[in-house]
Structures are given as structure tokens and as C-alpha cells.
Amino acid sequence: GTSQLSQFMYQNNPLSGLTHKRRLSAL
């Protein structure tokens, strides 16, 4: 569920996907 939502958001807004990955990396 979450992964699918992430992919959907990433396809619609790549920039948002990059920021999300940075947040995960920060953790």
C-alpha cells in the first residue's frame, strides 16, 4: 500500500519523491 502510493506520488511529482528519499536517508 505505502510503496504503491510512493510510486504514484513519485510519478506525478519526481521532486517530491527525491525529498522523500532524502528524509528516509536522514533517518
Position 24 scores a pLDDT of: 74
Position 14 scores a pLDDT of: 66
Task: Please check whether residue 10 is in contact with residue 16, taking contact to mean a CB–CB distance below 8 angstroms.
Answer: yes
pTM: 0.29
Quote the crossing angle between the two packed helices 2-12 and 14-26, to the nearest 10°: 130
Position 6 scores a pLDDT of: 75
pLDDT digits (tens, 9 = 90+) for 1-27: 678 877 776 677 767 667 767 777 777
Position 16 scores a pLDDT of: 67
* Biggest distance spanned by C-alpha atoms of the chain: 24
